[in-house]
Amino acid sequence: MQAEAREDNRERAAAGGIPFGPLQGLKVLDLSIIVAGGTASSLLADFGADVVKVERPGSGDPLRNWGPFANGVSLWWKVHSRNKKSLTLDLGKREGQALLLELAAQADVLIEGFRPGTLERWNLGPQQLHEANPGLVILRFSGFGQSGPYRDRPGFGTIAECMSGYIAMTGFPETPPVLPPIPLADEIAGVFGAMAGMMALYRRETAPSEMAAGESVAGDTEQGDTDGDTAIPKRRAGGQVIDLSLFEPLFRLCIPHLPMYDLLGIVRERVGNDFPDAAPRSLYRTGDQRWLGLSATSQSTWEALAQAMGLSHLLDDDRFGNNAARLENKDALNEELQGWLGDRPLDQILEKLVPAGGVVGPVYDSSQIINDPHYREREDVLEIDDPDLGRTIMPGVVPKFTATPGAVEYGGPRLGEHNSQVLGNWLDYDQERIQALEDSGVI
Amino acid sequence: MQAEAREDNRERAAAGGIPFGPLQGLKVLDLSIIVAGGTASSLLADFGADVVKVERPGSGDPLRNWGPFANGVSLWWKVHSRNKKSLTLDLGKREGQALLLELAAQADVLIEGFRPGTLERWNLGPQQLHEANPGLVILRFSGFGQSGPYRDRPGFGTIAECMSGYIAMTGFPETPPVLPPIPLADEIAGVFGAMAGMMALYRRETAPSEMAAGESVAGDTEQGDTDGDTAIPKRRAGGQVIDLSLFEPLFRLCIPHLPMYDLLGIVRERVGNDFPDAAPRSLYRTGDQRWLGLSATSQSTWEALAQAMGLSHLLDDDRFGNNAARLENKDALNEELQGWLGDRPLDQILEKLVPAGGVVGPVYDSSQIINDPHYREREDVLEIDDPDLGRTIMPGVVPKFTATPGAVEYGGPRLGEHNSQVLGNWLDYDQERIQALEDSGVI
C-alpha cells in the first residue's frame, strides 16, 4: 500500500512538474558553497522545496570542480544539487546585494556558509535580511560557528572531525586514527541544518504572533491574529538565525563520552572493530575474501548464532558463557568465529545464518549496492535521464514518506540555468531587465 | 548579542519550567528502544518538545543497561534521555494498548522502533493510530525498513553500516575496513527522523485542509479554513507514516559513489587518511606524540601553509606545484610535512600555523574537549545537577538558535518517574486511576 501511494504521488508530481513532497511551496535561497549548506538544501529539495542555488557568475559553486567527472560534469554536483535551480549573482556588487534582498523578501529559508562576518561586510547580515523579511529563517554554516575564540579560523570538515572527538576513537590501536571516507562533519552539519531549519519554520507557523507585536516573550503563543483577516498570517514574523558549526553536530552525536571522562576518568580510545561493551561484534573475512559484519551482543542472538553455525559447544565453554566472559576472551572468540567464517563463501554464510536470525551482513561497495534487490525495491537506486550524462543512477529519496514522498526531478543544473525562471517567477522581472543584469555582470 | 539572547531565554525557560525551544507545546510519544528513535526524540527534546519515553514496566529501555555506569546509572541513558519523561506501559496488554491509543490521540509525533509488524500485532498499527488521531506523524525505525525483501531481518546498526557502502571505504588499504566508534547509522537515522518528522509537521500545519475533505491532491494548499472559525485549525488531519531504515540515511550521505560506479566503473576503496582528489590532506604525528589534522586542498591554502612553515622552497618544487602534481607525489609530500610537524610540539605548531590561516587542528579526545575555551564559550560543555550523579557534564544543545535556543533541564529520568505527571496532564487521570493501573501491572 505504501508503494502504491508513492507511485500515485509520483504521477501527480510529474503532472504538476513539481516534486510532491511535504515542502511544496517552501522557498529556499542557498548561498553556500561545497558540502555542508548544500546537504541541507539537498534534503529540502528532495522533499519538494523550491531551492535556488545562488552562484558566483562565471565560476559557480566550487563543488562543480570536484572530481570525478563524467562528460566534464562533476558527479558530486549532479547528485548534491539535484532538484535545485541555479541562479548566478555577484554578491560583491551593490546591485547584486540589492537583488539578493529582493529575493530574500520572498524566501522562507536562507542558507549561507561564508566565513563569519562576510555577509555583514556585504550589508547582507541578519539585520538587513530580517528588515527585508522578518520571517526569514537563516542557516549560517561555518567551521567553528559565529561566536567563540576560533570563529575566524578557516573551517574545513577534516579539522571539525578531528576536534569533535570522533576521530580519536576511530581505527585500530596500532594504526593512526582514521578519517571518514565522506565529508562526514559537513554532511551531518547539513542534516542538522535541515532539521533545525524545519524546527524554526514550525515555530514560525505555529506561533505567528510571537514577534509581530515587538515581543519575544514565550507563553503568549495562543493569541491568534484576530484583526478580521481570515487568511492564516504567514511569514509575518518569527524568523531567526541558526548558527551551525561543522564540529558541533558530530560532537553532539558522541553521546556519553564527556560524562564518561568527567565522572569516571575514562578516555575512549581506538579499539578497532570490537565493541568495547559487548562481544562478539566485529568484521570477519569470508572464504571468498569478502568482509562480513557480525553482531551478537545480546545473549539470545549469541546463542542463536552459535547454534546456526553448528558451534553450540561454544555455549558450554566457560570463556563464552556470558557477555562479560566473552568480552574478556574476545580474541579467542573472534578466532573461533573467523575460523568458521573463513572456511565459507559469503553467500553460503548468509544463506545459513540469516534465516536463523543471525545479525550478519556483507560489507557492500557501490557495485554490490547497485544490484541488491532490497535497495532496488525500496527505490534507493534511482535512475534519471540527465541532459549532460544521459541515463544516470543516484541515491533515491531518504527517508520514505507515505503521503508526501518527494521525488528527484532532475540532476544538478548548469550554471545560471534558471536565471530567467527564478527572477521571473520570484520577482516578476521581465526579459529586458534580466538581460540588463546579465550585461552588467550582476548575474 | 546571541549569547545575551540565549541567557535571557534560559531565564524565561527556568521561570516557566519548560525549555524554551522552537518546539514548545509539541507532544511526542517515543516507544522505541536503544539508539535510533531515541536520537530523534533527544533532538526534539533538546528543543522544547514534550517527549514521553514509553518504557516496558520493570525493565525499561535496554539503553539503561548500556555501560559505562556511574552510581549504577548508564551514562548513555543520562545523556540520550535528557529532558524526556519516563512513562511505563505494557504494550502487550490490551489495557496498555488502549491507553497508548488515548495518549496517541493527544500526540503530534509517535516514534517506534519495533520489528516491522510488531505494532500491527498489538493492534497499534498506523491504521489504528490514525483512527485515533489523523494528524499523527509516525516515525517508524527499523533495520531494513517496512518494505523490501530484507524487512524481517533483525537490524542492528553495525549491519546497516556495512551494507550502506560507508564501511567498504573506511580505513587503510592494508588493514581491515573500520567500523565507526559510535552507533553512526542509528544516530544518523535518528537525525533524519527528527528532520523528516518536522517536515511532515510543517506540511500538516501549512496545508491543514489537504486531507480533511477527504482529498489528497496537491496544489490546493492555499485554501484556508474559511468556516468562520478564527482559530488556526490544528492537528485536524495531515499525519502520515515515515519509514526510516538504519542503512539508508548513511547510504544517502555517500553522495557520488553510485554514479561513479555506474558511469565510470570506479569503486571507491580504502585510501586511509589521504584525500583521493586533493593533497595535502591527512593526519600527522606531532613531536609530542599528538595527532594533527591538516588540509590544504586549494592552491591558496597550500601556498599559505608552505610559507608559514618556512618551506616555501616546496612551492618551487615541480612535484608539488599544483594539485595534480601533489596528488601524484603524495607520499613525498606527506614525508616533507611529517618531517616538519614531527619536530615540533602541537602547541607550537598551532601557534605558528593558525594565525597564518593554516587549516590545521588537533585530534581531540574528551579530556581535551572539556578544557577547550571554544567549546566552553559556545556552551557545548554543559553542566547539570543530576539527582543520581550530582554535578554532571554533557554535550550542550546543538545547533544554536538565536531566538529559541532550547535548553537541557535534566538528565535521563528514572523508570516511570513521570507516570502520574503524564497521565494527569495528557489524559486528566486522577491518582486513584493511576494507582489501579500500577496495581494491575499496566504501567
For B75-101, b/e burial (b = at least 16 CB within 10 A) is bbbbbbbbbbbbbbbbbebeebbebbb
For residues B210 and A14, is the Cβ–Cβ distance under 8 A? no
For residues A337 and A284, is the Cβ–Cβ distance under 8 A? yes
- Which residues have a Cβ under 8 Å from the Cβ of A378 and sit 6 or more positions away? A396, A400, B145, B147, B148, B245, B248
β-bridge partners, B30? B53, B111
Mutate to test the interface with B, among A8, A398, A408, A409 (most CBs of B within 10 A): A398
Nearest to B195 among A198, A231, A259 (CB): A198
Chain A residues in contact with B1 (beta carbon < 8 A): none
Helix or strand (DSSP H, E) at B55: strand B50-55
- What proportion of chain B, given as a percentage, has pLDDT over 70? 89
Catalytic one among A46, A61, A186, A386? A186
User: Can you list the residues of chain A whose pLDDT is less than 50?
Assistant: 1-10, 12-19, 210-236
Least confident of A121-130, B74-83, B229-238, B387-396: B229-238
Whether residues B191 and A195 touch (CB distance < 8 A) is answered with yes
Q: Could you tell me which chain B residue has the CA closest to the CA of A176? A: B283
- Tell me the residue type at B324: A
Residue B237's pLDDT is: 58
Tens-place pLDDT, residues B373-400: 999 999 999 999 999 999 999 999 999 9
| Integer CA distances (angstroms), B110 to B76, B105, B125, B233, in order | 22, 10, 11, 20
Is a pLDDT exceeding 80 seen at residue B233?
no
Our CA angle for A108, A32, A193, nearest 5°, is 60
Q: Give the dihedral sign, CA A202/A203/A209/A211.
A: negative
Query: What number of other Cβ atoms are within 10 A of residue B288's Cβ?
Result: 12
Q: Which long-range contacts (CB under 8 A, 24 or more apart) does A220-224 make?
A: A221/B24, A221/B25, A224/B230, A224/B231, A224/B232
Tens-place pLDDT, residues B242-296: 999 999 999 999 999 999 999 999 999 999 999 888 899 999 999 999 999 999 9
β-bridge partners, A386? A390
Residue B207's pLDDT is: 82
Whether residues B195 and A200 touch (CB distance < 8 A) is answered with no
Distance between CA atoms of B421 and B427, rounded to whole angstroms? 10
Rounded to two decimals, what is the model's pTM? Answer: 0.92
Residue A208's pLDDT is: 55
Grid cell at residue A196: 533545525
Catalytic one among B90, B186, B274, B386? B186
Whether residues A211 and B403 touch (CB distance < 8 A) is answered with yes
Phi, psi dihedrals of residue B155, rounded to the nearest 5°: -115, 115
- Which residues have a Cβ under 8 Å from the Cβ of A78 and sit 6 or more positions away? A386, A388, A389, A392, A394, A411, A412, B256, B259
Q: How confident is the model at residue B365 (pLDDT cuts 50, 70, 90)?
A: very high
- Tell me the residue type at A100: L
Nearest to B175 among A164, A172, A268 (CB): A172
Is a pLDDT exceeding 50 seen at residue B216?
no
Helix (H, G, I), strand (E, B) or coil at B429: coil
Is a pLDDT exceeding 70 seen at residue B77?
yes
Helix or strand (DSSP H, E) at B383: strand B381-386
Nearest to B267 among A2, A257, A367 (CB): A367
For residues A26 and A106, is the Cβ–Cβ distance under 8 A? no
Distance between CA atoms of A204 and B48, rounded to whole angstroms? 15
Question: To which residue does cell 553460503 refer?
Answer: A348
Give chain B's mean pLDDT.
Answer: 90
DSSP class of B290: -
Q: How far is B202 from chain A (nearest CA, A)?
A: 5
Residue B278's pLDDT is: 86
Whether residues B231 and A224 touch (CB distance < 8 A) is answered with yes
Whether residues B21 and A199 touch (CB distance < 8 A) is answered with yes
β-bridge partners, A381? A395
Known catalytic residue: B428? no
| Integer CA distances (angstroms), A422 to A7, A102, A105, B218, in order | 29, 12, 14, 22
Whether residues A2 and B389 touch (CB distance < 8 A) is answered with no
Chain A residues in contact with B375 (beta carbon < 8 A): 251
Distance between CA atoms of B300 and B321, rounded to whole angstroms? 12
What is the ipTM, given to two decimal places?
A: 0.92
Residue B231's pLDDT is: 40
Tens-place pLDDT, residues B15-62: 443 448 999 999 999 999 999 999 999 999 999 999 999 999 999 999
Tens-place pLDDT, residues B341-364: 999 999 999 999 999 988 999 999
Chain B residues in contact with A270 (beta carbon < 8 A): 181
Q: Could you tell me which chain A residue has the CA closest to the CA of B217? A: A12
Residue B15's pLDDT is: 46
Size of interface A-B (CB pairs under 8 A): 503
CA-wise closest residue to B46 among B18, B66, B73, B9: B18
- What proportion of chain B, given as a percentage, has pLDDT over 90? 84
Chain B residues in contact with A223 (beta carbon < 8 A): none
Is a pLDDT exceeding 50 seen at residue B1?
no
Distance between CA atoms of A55 and A76, rounded to whole angstroms? 16
Tens-place pLDDT, residues B105-133: 999 999 999 999 999 999 999 999 999 99
Q: How far is A443 from chain B (nearest CA, A)?
A: 25
Nearest to A176 among B164, B184, B273 (CB): B273
Residue A237's pLDDT is: 58
Q: Strand B109-112 and strand B137-142: pairing? A: parallel
Q: Strand B381-386 and strand B360-362: pairing? A: unpaired
Whether residues B165 and A366 touch (CB distance < 8 A) is answered with yes
Tens-place pLDDT, residues B2-23: 444 444 444 544 444 344 899 9
Distance between CA atoms of B301 and B349, rounded to whole angstroms? 16
Q: How far is B125 from chain A (nearest CA, A)?
A: 14
Q: How far is A263 from chain B (nearest CA, A)?
A: 7
Whether residues A176 and B283 touch (CB distance < 8 A) is answered with yes
Least confident of A177-186, B2-11, B318-327, B405-414: B2-11
Chain A residues in contact with B373 (beta carbon < 8 A): 148-149
